Chains A and B, each alone.
Chain A
Amino acid sequence: MIRKVVPNVTQACQGIKNGMTLMFGGFGLSGIPENAIAQIVKLNKNHLTCISNNAGVDDFGLGLLLQKKQIKKMISSYVGENAEFERQMLSGELDVELIPQGTLAQRCQAAQGGFPAFYTPAGYGTEVAEGKETREFNGKWYVLEKAFEADFAFIKAWKGDEAGNLIFKGTARNFNPNMCGAAKITVVEVEELLPAGALDPNQVHIPGIFVQRIFQGENYEKRIEQLTVRKRN
């Protein structure tokens, strides 16, 4: 067994430098690597390019990095919940690349699986396709999109073991599995870190080969963005 465990978030985040490209799992505030984000805020690294479906809210998630102006460029599909983001973008302080959500996922998946690029119909005929190669297959047009190149991927999983095998929970899974192994170094934080053998290999979502560092996360806030409930009757 190859051990991937590091003792804490400080060691897990070693090697992050100004100007690097970082990937973050999560959809909205669900399944975001809360511990790693807090550590990057603390390290005060800046000029970062961040790849994440969303940009958090003003005071949580990647919004914390935006507040401190640590992000130079953001690659996302939807940023609607963050007023500070919108302000920095409209004022030109923040460079933003908005891309279709499925394209974002597939650019991660391509990086993980060794594909330099792929064709997708998403965005054909729109400004997303401007400057990109397009090609017709069987009468339909597609846009060539490239795999991401990132330095670190920060992942949040539900359970993981010492070998770096991972299991995700509910819709907190989202982009996390696609980003594992899609960057030079994949750093995973888990709610429950278990000894090797504790996870049923049949149930593993992501094998440890895609993971370089895993650590026991702490103090998860797991904020809910839109609380919607129904009354009992």
Chain B
Amino acid sequence: MALSKEQIAKRIAKEVKDGYYVNLGIGIPTLVANFVREDINVEFQSENGVLGMGPFPFEGEEDPDLINAGKQTITTLPGASFFDSAMSFSMIRGQHVDLTILGAMEVSELGDIANWKIPGVMVKGMGGAMDLVASADNIIVAMMHTNKAGESKLLKKCTLPLTGVGCVKKVVTNLAVLEITKNGFQLLERAPGVSVEEIVDATEGNLIINGKIPEMVF
């Protein structure tokens, strides 16, 4: 069975380690916060200017002056801090943030990522994504393996305008966990019940399969 969005988030949460400052993008990445182990200390950064983000507020306690990068109302946890946008991106460009998790429309076997524009159709802008992918050492992409038309999103070469080049290290999809290596997408794990053949069929970019591929463990 292919994973649900929640399950993708749950698998990625295993990559979050004790002491990490983490930036979560909009969509599936936001869900990762719900699945991080409770016995480790992690702080979530939102690039609009907060470190130490907490859960959504209780009804009636929302504050228009307290939102995340997705413009959702949030809360802060003890130890949180606020800062301006230039300082926020100093944290990002200066590699003080340990892990960046974001969504994508396409990823190439070279680690290129496209997630901000479909020419003539959708032009919303890149927000902080270009700063994040250009700077972070540790970038995980969370996305569906194929698009709505069933076409692979893991490509030899991105077809959409790029957000960054050669920057993605790991991809977690509804079918698989893959690492980006010099030679392409190395298949590390498959979703429970999903066969290697199904992943091969859904991957356009070069897929490297070494030995027996284990099922994901949550």
- Which A residues lie at the B interface, using CB under 8 A? 27-31, 53, 76-81, 86, 89-90, 96, 98-106, 108-109, 120-128, 158, 168-178, 205, 222-232
For B30-53 the 0/1 string (1 means CB < 8 A from A) is 000000000000000011111000
Contact of B58 with A171 in the complex, beta carbons under 8 Å: no
B59: CB under 8 A from chain A? Answer: yes
Q: List 9 A-B contacts (CB under 8 A).
A: A77-B127, A86-B123, A102-B89, A120-B93, A170-B65, A178-B85, A226-B73, A228-B57, A229-B57
Q: Residues of B contacting A98 with CB < 8 Å?
A: 116-117, 123, 125-126
Contact of B73 with A90 in the complex, beta carbons under 8 Å: no
Q: Is chain B's binding surface mostly helix, strand, loop or mixed? A: loop
CA distance A222 to B65 in the complex (A): 8
Contact of A121 with B93 in the complex, beta carbons under 8 Å: yes
Q: Residues of B contacting A173 with CB < 8 Å?
A: 49, 82-84
Chain B, residue nearest A223 (CB): B64
B130: CB under 8 A from chain A? Answer: yes
Among A171, A173, A225, the most chain B Cβ lie within 10 Å of the Cβ of A171
Within 8 A of A (CB), among B152-179: 161-166
Contact of A177 with B92 in the complex, beta carbons under 8 Å: no
Listed from nearest, the 4 A-B pairs whose CB atoms lie closest are: A102-B89, A102-B131, A80-B124, A125-B165
Interface size on B, as a range, is 35 or more
Q: How far is the CB of B32 from chain A (nearest CB, A)?
A: 16
Contact of A125 with B164 in the complex, beta carbons under 8 Å: yes
Q: A27-B85, A53-B85, A101-B126 are in contact. Are A169 and B55 (CB under 8 A)?
A: no
Contact of B48 with A231 in the complex, beta carbons under 8 Å: no
Chain B, residue nearest A121 (CB): B134
With A30-B67, A86-B124 known, 10 other A-B pairs at CB within 8 A are A98-B126, A100-B127, A100-B128, A102-B128, A121-B134, A125-B166, A178-B85, A222-B65, A226-B72, A229-B73
Q: How far is the CB of A54 from chain B (nearest CB, A)?
A: 8
CA distance A225 to B123 in the complex (A): 19
Q: How far is the CB of A41 from chain B (nearest CB, A)?
A: 21
For B122-161 the 0/1 string (1 means CB < 8 A from A) is 0111111111001100000000000000000000000001
Q: A76-B125, A227-B62 are in contact. Are A126 and B165 (CB under 8 A)?
A: yes
Q: How far is the CB of A201 from chain B (nearest CB, A)?
A: 19
Contact of A229 with B71 in the complex, beta carbons under 8 Å: no
Q: Residues of A contacting B116 with CB < 8 Å?
A: 98
CA distance A170 to B192 in the complex (A): 43
CA distance A224 to B56 in the complex (A): 14
Contact of A30 with B65 in the complex, beta carbons under 8 Å: yes
Q: A30-B64, A80-B125, A106-B86 are in contact. Are A174 and B73 (CB under 8 A)?
A: no
CA distance A232 to B60 in the complex (A): 11
B66: CB under 8 A from chain A? Answer: yes
Q: Residues of A contacting B92 with CB < 8 Å?
A: 102
B198: CB under 8 A from chain A? Answer: no
Contact of A170 with B56 in the complex, beta carbons under 8 Å: no
Q: Residues of B contacting A170 with CB < 8 Å?
A: 50, 63, 65-66, 82
Contact of B123 with A174 in the complex, beta carbons under 8 Å: no
CA distance A140 to B117 in the complex (A): 25
